[in-house]
């Protein structure tokens, strides 16, 4: 490992080359390759297994996403200067094996590395590989529309999250997110002659969902809606909005059949087993990164959970694997209460080259932790606080004296913010100061002020003016009955903290949706050029 020539002293940040990172991936060693830019720049170009961990959120997310403090970490940016600052911050949080990627994005490209667009690329590329190798059946929007209009015996199952389904859905479809499909489909289509069609917004969850049912032995004819709601929209078909159709209870006999099929599938994929009594041993193993995921619905998780486990509904875990588990080469432990969802999810994760365990023979009594799950956080910096009432008085009497900075997400800022608040990204705080009018003091907020507290420490190093944090954040302001606004407002930073997916919302341009589909079609070729994935398809 070479040293950064610009870094000196005992705290110099090591540099890892493209080849070193590649070798670690090929050897299935533990490594976290972290892109510390905001999500939109990340989505423009990044290595296949580079997980997005924005610099501004490191304290809030690191301990959850990087549970082992001595895991090898390589941070990268594209010359913005965020990587060295992120490496230093990770060291402050106790991570001991932190390095920078030599040359960042440009260095990866110059060394011959493949760069990918969009988000959740490993999962999307894997979905395309599954379709290419298994020839997953699919129907076009026009074919599905004809089946609906003809009154054919069909059931359309929407594999996205319920909130996505409510935004827009195929007429008559039922919300059955991801891993719920193998558990619920037999009850929703008890007649083996009923055709089952699975859709999502684009392609991945349609393909994985349909192939899940085929792999799990569903006797019905199964097909994916080709290109999801994008394909439906491009075909000039109408979508429904605000629907609430959801799956119901599953008879015990049906669950048992589904559980037997899911277990056989997981065993064929090479999924490992762990007893409930052995979980503490895995958790105490300091030599490995181990993630513990509860594959059930968020509602079930809230009613009782296992110690150490966090909620990761199976469909989303397969769709966003690098975000839930950014340490490549880590160990994943999955649990459910039915013997279906964890096994089905694990079968996919194993094919994606992860080491996966399923907790066997869990009982209802094992889900005995009833307190809410909270992300582990480092101690927050000491800050001077201000109440919503005092801030309201200041803004009413002399607003020009106070600069109010809101560090919430861009999406939340557009939904609601305190009148006069500036949207700001912590990752470019120095530039933010240069864009603001002169002020006598700074007040920082976000939804709860959790992130604002950490940003306050950074801001104090850049100004001699007082820096205060709004107690309870914008939520406390709203709870006090004080006014909010939803206009675009004041942007001290560009809205780049989230990449706009071409399949989200209902106002996307045809060209953007088609370009997204064309990009997905090219992912298998990109996987071949990259050569580090290790995916296998059953």
Higher-confidence residue: 33 or 202?
33
pLDDT digits (tens, 9 = 90+) for 361-384: 899 899 999 999 999 999 999 999
pLDDT over 90 for what percent of the chain? Answer: 92
Q: Is the pLDDT of residue 303 over 90?
A: yes
Residue in the structure block whose two tokens are 């929407």: 158
Higher-confidence residue: 157 or 6?
157
CATH topology of domain 258-366: Oxidized Rhodanese; domain 1 (3.40.250)
Residue in the structure block whose two tokens are 């927050």: 380
Q: Which tokens sit at 437? A: 């009018």
Which superfamily does 125-246 belong to? Rhodanese-like domain (3.40.250.10)
pLDDT digits (tens, 9 = 90+) for 441-464: 999 999 999 999 999 999 999 999
Measured CA to CA, the distance from residue 52 to residue 375 in angstroms comes to 18
- The model's pTM: 0.94
pLDDT for the residue 8: 37
pLDDT digits (tens, 9 = 90+) for 73-101: 999 999 999 999 999 999 999 999 999 99
Average pLDDT in the 156-174 region? 96
Cβ partners under 8 Å of residue 318, min gap 6: 123, 178, 179, 208, 345, 348, 349, 352
pLDDT range class, residue 351, cuts 50, 70, 90: very high
Pick from 2-16, 32-46, 107-121, 318-332: least confident: 2-16
Q: What is the DSSP string of 371-424?
A: SPP----PPPPP-EEE-HHHHHHHHHH-GGGEEEEE-S-HHHHHH-B-TTPEE-
Higher-confidence residue: 254 or 509?
254
Q: Is the pLDDT of residue 122 over 70?
A: yes
Q: Is the pLDDT of residue 502 over 80?
A: no
CATH numeric code, 384-491 = 3.40.250.10
**DSSP bridge pairs for 290:** 331
Question: Running DSSP on this structure, what letter comes out for residue 53?
Answer: -
pLDDT range class, residue 7, cuts 50, 70, 90: very low
**H helices of 15-71, where?**
18-26, 39-44, 58-65
| CA trace torsion 83, 89, 93, 97 (10° rounding) | 40
User: If we measure between CA atoms, which residue out of 451, 470, 311, 323 comes closest to residue 385?
Assistant: 470
pLDDT for the residue 39: 98
Name the CATH code of domain 2-119 (choices 1.10.150.130, 2.30.30.700, 3.40.50.11270, 3.40.250.10).
3.40.250.10
pLDDT for the residue 469: 98
Average pLDDT in the 325-341 region? 97
Pinpoint the residues of the chain covered by CATH 3.40.250.10.
2-119, 125-246, 258-366, 384-491
pLDDT digits (tens, 9 = 90+) for 201-252: 999 999 999 999 999 999 999 999 999 999 999 999 999 999 999 999 999 9
pLDDT for the residue 5: 34
Q: Is the pLDDT of residue 3 over 50?
A: no
- Looking at the chain, the number of H-run helices and the number of E-run strands are 24, 23
Q: Which tokens sit at 323? A: 């975000």
C-alpha separations of 93 from 76, 87, 429, 497 in Å: 18, 10, 20, 23
pLDDT for the residue 503: 67
Mean pLDDT for all residues in the chain:
94
pLDDT range class, residue 440, cuts 50, 70, 90: very high
In three-state form (DSSP H/G/I as H, E/B as E, the rest C), the secondary structure along 457-472 is HHHHCCCCCCEEEECC
Cβ partners under 8 Å of residue 281, min gap 6: none
pLDDT digits (tens, 9 = 90+) for 464-476: 999 999 999 999 9
pLDDT range class, residue 504, cuts 50, 70, 90: low
pLDDT digits (tens, 9 = 90+) for 519-533: 888 999 999 999 999
pLDDT range class, residue 507, cuts 50, 70, 90: low
């Amino acid at each position: 490992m070479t040293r950064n020539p610009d870094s000196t002293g005992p705290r110099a940040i090591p540099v890892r080359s493209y080849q070193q990172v590649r070798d670690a991936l090929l050897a299935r060693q533990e490594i976290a390759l972290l892109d510390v830019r905001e999500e939109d720049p990340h989505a423009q170009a990044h290595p296949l297994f580079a997980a997005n961990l924005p610099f501004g959120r490191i304290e809030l997310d690191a301990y959850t996403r990087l549970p082992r403090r001595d895991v090898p970490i390589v941070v990268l940016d594209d010359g913005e200067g965020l990587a060295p600052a992120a490496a230093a911050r990770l060291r402050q949080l106790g991570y001991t094996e932190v390095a920078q990627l030599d040359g960042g994005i440009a260095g990866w490209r110059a060394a011959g590395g493949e760069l990918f667009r969009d988000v959740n690329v490993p999962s999307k590329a894997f979905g395309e590989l599954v379709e290419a190798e298994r020839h997953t059946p699919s129907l076009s929007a026009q074919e599905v529309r004809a089946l609906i209009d003809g009154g054919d015996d069909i059931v359309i199952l929407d594999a996205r999250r319920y909130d996505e389904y409510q935004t827009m859905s195929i007429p008559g479809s039922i919300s059955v997110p991801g891993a719920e499909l193998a558990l619920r489909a037999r009850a929703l289509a008890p007649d083996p002659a009923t055709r089952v069609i699975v859709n999502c917004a684009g392609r991945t969850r349609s393909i994985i969902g349909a192939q899940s049912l085929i792999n799990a032995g569903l006797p019905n004819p199964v097909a994916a809606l080709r290109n999801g709601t994008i394909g439906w929209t491009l075909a000039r078909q109408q979508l429904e909005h605000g629907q609430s159709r959801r799956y119901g209870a599953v008879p015990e006999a049906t669950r048992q059949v589904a559980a037997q099929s899911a277990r056989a599938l997981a065993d064929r994929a090479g999924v490992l087993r762990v007893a409930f009594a052995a979980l503490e041993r895995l958790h105490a193993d300091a030599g490995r990164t181990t993630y513990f995921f509860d594959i059930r619905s968020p509602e079930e998780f809230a009613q009782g959970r296992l110690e150490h486990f966090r909620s990761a509904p199976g469909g989303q875990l397969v769709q966003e694997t690098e975000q839930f588990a950014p340490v490549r080469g880590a160990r994943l432990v999955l649990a459910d209460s039915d013997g279906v969802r964890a096994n089905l999810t694990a079968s996919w994760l194993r094919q994606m080259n992860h080491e996966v365990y399923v907790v066997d023979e869990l009982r209802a009594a094992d889900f005995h932790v009833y307190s809410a799950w909270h992300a582990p956080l480092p101690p927050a910096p000491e800050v001077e606080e201000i109440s919503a009432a005092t801030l309201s008085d200041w803004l009413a009497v002399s607003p020009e004296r106070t600069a109010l900075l809101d560090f919430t997400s861009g999406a939340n800022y557009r939904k609601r913010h305190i009148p006069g608040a500036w949207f700001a990204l912590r990752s470019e705080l120095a530039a933010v100061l240069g864009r603001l009018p002169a002020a006598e003091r700074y007040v920082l907020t976000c939804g709860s002020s959790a992130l604002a507290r950490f940003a306050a420490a950074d801001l104090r190093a850049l100004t001699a003016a007082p820096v205060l944090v709004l107690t309870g954040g914008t939520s406390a302001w709203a709870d006090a009955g004080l006014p909010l606004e939803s206009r675009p407002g004041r942007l001290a930073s560009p809205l780049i903290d989230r990449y706009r997916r071409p399949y989200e919302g209902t106002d996307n341009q045809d060209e953007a949706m088609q370009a997204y589909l064309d990009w997905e079609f090219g992912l298998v070729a990109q996987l071949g050029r990259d050569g580090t994935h290790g995916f296998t398809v059953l």
